[in-house]
Amino acid sequence: MTEKTMTLDVPIQRGDQTINSIALRKPTAGDLRGVSISDVLQMQVTALVKVLPRISIPTLTEADVNKMDLADLTEAAGKLASFLLKKADREQFDSATA
């Protein structure tokens, strides 16, 4: 699976737009530039703030990510981390967290 959708517990308000759900696509190596993979796996907020806008649909801004509810940010971090696993490991991880 190259895209994972999540419904936000707390929608993101951007002007008149309300974002109730986001999809995260599998990042490429370029999407991780300037960020340590270990920081992503450890759910370091600074790494998430950089990477999530690069892979989110609709595209979130860094300000949007900074305003995310912690439960939503944690879910997004888990989805992002699962993309970094090998396919067989990812399938096992996804079934365990479903």
pTM of the predicted model, to two decimals?
0.87
Output the pLDDT for position 87.
Answer: 79
Q: How far is CA 94 from CA 20, 68, 75, 83, 91, in A?
A: 22, 23, 12, 10, 5
Give tens-digit pLDDT for 28-62.
999 999 999 999 999 999 999 999 999 999 999 99
Residue showing tokens 């971090």: 77
Whole-angstrom Cα distance, residue 12 to residue 21?
9
In a domain, 96, yes or no: no
Q: Are 72 and 6 in contact (CB under 8 A)?
A: yes
Domain membership of residue 46 as a residue range: 3-87
In a domain, 27, yes or no: yes
In a domain, 94, yes or no: no
How many domains, the chain? 1
Output the pLDDT for position 1.
Answer: 59
Structure tokens at 9: 């517990």
pLDDT surpasses 80 at 21: yes
In a domain, 97, yes or no: no
